[in-house]
Chain A
Amino acid sequence: MDDYKITTDALDDVGHLISERALKGETVLLNMGPQHPSTHGVLRLLLELDGEVVVNCIPDIGFLHTGIEKNMETKTYEKAAVMTDRLDYLNTVGNNLVYCLAIEKLVGLDVPARAQALRVILVELQRIASHLVWLGTHGLDLAAMSMFLYCFREREMIMDIMEMVGGQRMMATCIRPGGMWRDVPAGFEEAVRQFIRIFPKRIKEYENLLTRNPLFLERTKNIGILSKEDALRWGVTGPMLRASGVAHDLRKVRPYSGYELYDFDIPTQSDGDTYARYLVRMEEMRQSLRIIQQALDKLPSGPVRSNNRKFVPPPRAEIGVSMEALIHHFKLWTEGFTPTKGAVYEAVESPRGELGVYLESDGTPKPFRVHWRTPSFLNLQVLPLLAKGHLVADLVALIGTIDIVLGDVDR
């Protein structure tokens, strides 16, 4: 027995959070993660268990700290865009988008209509892809293993589209300040339409497997109830907030990138439990499809990038014929553009909630401060609140339902 004596200094930084009961040995301390199949990356949870009931849960983060915020401050505005993909690696295009929106706001850059529509299509596709990963891993957490592979089958189609647009499956970085990197290739529209055609049937398939499955209901109904008040108090956003009955969605509340042009609903649920969050995300995928459909139908033609040469490098064809273009090219790629002093905050609705970026310029080509307001970080804070009184098995479902991406948490 003496071997198991717990001392506070053995518990590193989180030692002060351990309760008296655990130190006396009445409850069991269990270290879940950072290497654990269900923590979706490298989250460490220090659990205090009474039997299998979670008495307390202390999330310990920072194992995936990449220093992206600091890194971005050492790069020019344009070059730093490539780092944004690495934040929330399931929402790469969305990260590009918010960063570019912030720069556009900072320097007052216009974006052509076609680029805006394409951005919406890509971001909504990315939302579906992200929700598919969530659904698959959530299913896997509950040991519905086939779900995972079905979801990845559909995600693959989106990945293919991304590759088509950006030449890369995940880190496409195809959204740039002032528009898109370049126009989508031929066949893009056909591929997206094909996806829209197939995907509703597939959603129905998932729902057949899960929505009314008694085992799934057992595992999600009334698990981790987050009340409206708590959700607002803890700054929870995204599907988690909407599942608690608050119809808050930045796409409606503060439309950006032309979302006001499209007709879509914000799904909400009132129960605030894991099942409600499941329903909200499933419905969001359908709504995303609606948006993509409309955007495709109304897709205007024209340029996809602003012509403001102060900020947007000229196309390669121009360089050979125009001296001015060559100068712009040289200047933008060596020094970068220089915004005036000032600060902006821009936020979009990522698949996980409000994804915001705060940019502060001190009048040099490199940002003085980049700060990300990431939804995973804020949503993760409610995990102890949700987990208390549940079983270890539910904790797994809860980590899944928050839909954290550790890259998004640790930055």
Chain B
Amino acid sequence: MTTGSVWEWIIKSVVIVFGLLTGFAYLTLLERKVLAKIQVRIGPNRAGPMGLFQPLADAIKLIFKEEIIPSRADKIIFVLAPIITVIPALIILGVLPFGGIITLFGRQISLSLADLNVGVLYITAIASISIYGIVLAGWSSNNKYAMLGGIRSSAQMISYELALGLSFIGPILLSGSMSLHDIVAAQKPLWFVVYQPVGALIFWIATLAEVNRAPFDMPEAEQELTAGYHTEYSGMKFALFFMAEYIKMIAVSAIAATLFFGGYRFVLEDQYPILGPVWLLGKVIVLLFGMIWVRATLPRIRYDRLMAFGWKFLFPLALANVFFTAIGIVLEKLWLIPLLTIAVFLGAVVMVGISETRRWRSHVF
């Protein structure tokens, strides 16, 4: 490893981290603006032109807010929990390709931090440990609402991780690699969402649950649990939880774009590799808009129904998706995959519809 490549690596890490932090700040603004538009409001418009400095104002406010540590809280873990939450969110994108190779100052620079042959596993591993911050925050606050939030989140994330992990398998099978670079490369002719429509849908639903977004925002369900696991947090510590949630939103959108929507590849990217990050950003914004849209529209699912949905619907569906993907690949008829999976998906939806209607009619809850 030469000194030059070390510097390159450090600079890239710094750029990614700062990119994510800026992205977080402006994602909050985007969300508030989009929600306001949907809800016939105006949204933030005071700080700067079109409210563009709003994130800055929020940050200043949060920094100067009083930090309260409840006297009966477990102080060490109470302070550690927000940090534990943020770190996985920041490092999860380490294996993601942001673009091809560009030439800058006469240096060939690859627009990604690392290319692991276990890239997808790295993502699942980091996703699976990102739950600790929430659980520990809930526990250390010594507050029943926070505790319930923490327990809910651990159960929810474990449950949805299965479906999430299984939805990774479609792209892995299709590209024959666990490296995200290879997966992007394999999508050159056609995005995997074409072969994996159901897989992409499962991935998206499961990530909504993983990042605790509506309608799966159980752990922080403010109407039930006041604020869930971060009830007792204030000031910068609260901001860290907030930051983690939004960075995770960006991260999962970027991962979804990479796995199913061709990653950084799009028109003209071959000629001008510098367009790669731009296209990726565009895809991420479209996916983020979807998340915000869902939040504005849907009511929250009840906790037990959420678990039932994850285990009884999403998980079997993900298994079926893997199964049919494998069949399509073995038979070398890839066009079979979307047909079969969509058929299974529709069948499952109809079945669930029938059984739910029957349940409502039978007056059992």
Contacts and interface: CB of A to CB of B under 8 A. Distances in A.
A30 interface: yes
Contacts, number: 96
B297 A146 contact: yes
A143 B221 contact: yes
Interface string A198-223: 00000000000110011111110111
B296 to A, nearest CB: 5
B299 A149 contact: no
A396 interface: yes
A385 B16 CA distance: 55
A79 interface: no
Contact of B144 (A30, A142, A144, A216): A30
B142 to A, nearest CB: 9
B38 interface: yes
Contacts of B214: 143
A150 interface: yes
A376 B241 CA distance: 39
B39 A143 contact: no
Interface residues of A, number: 40
A30 B224 CA distance: 12
Interface string A370-411: 000000000000000000011111111000000000000000
Interface stretch (B78-86, B250-258, B301-309): B301-309
A142 B299 contact: yes
B72 A217 contact: no
A108 interface: no
B312 to A, nearest CB: 13
A182 B221 CA distance: 47
Best-surrounded residue of B221, B224, B226, B359 (most CB of chain A within 10 A) = B224
B226 A37 contact: yes
B105 interface: no
Contacts of A215: 215, 298-301
A215 B304 CA distance: 13
A89 B35 CA distance: 29
A37 B223 contact: yes
B166 to A, nearest CB: 23
Interface in B295-341: 295-305
Nearest to A29: B144
A140 B223 CA distance: 8
A394 B302 contact: yes
B363 interface: yes
Contacts of A360: none
Contact of B221 (A139, A144, A393): A393
Given A150-B40, A214-B356, A225-B363, A142 B300 contact: yes
Ranked nearest first, the 8 interchain pairs of A and B with the lowest CB-CB distance are: A143-B300, A142-B299, A144-B299, A149-B39, A222-B365, A221-B360, A38-B223, A393-B302
Interface of A: 3, 28, 30, 36-38, 52, 139-146, 149-150, 153, 209-210, 213-219, 221-223, 225, 271, 389-396
Interface of B: 35, 38-41, 72, 144-145, 148, 214-215, 217, 221-226, 295-305, 353, 356, 359-360, 363-365
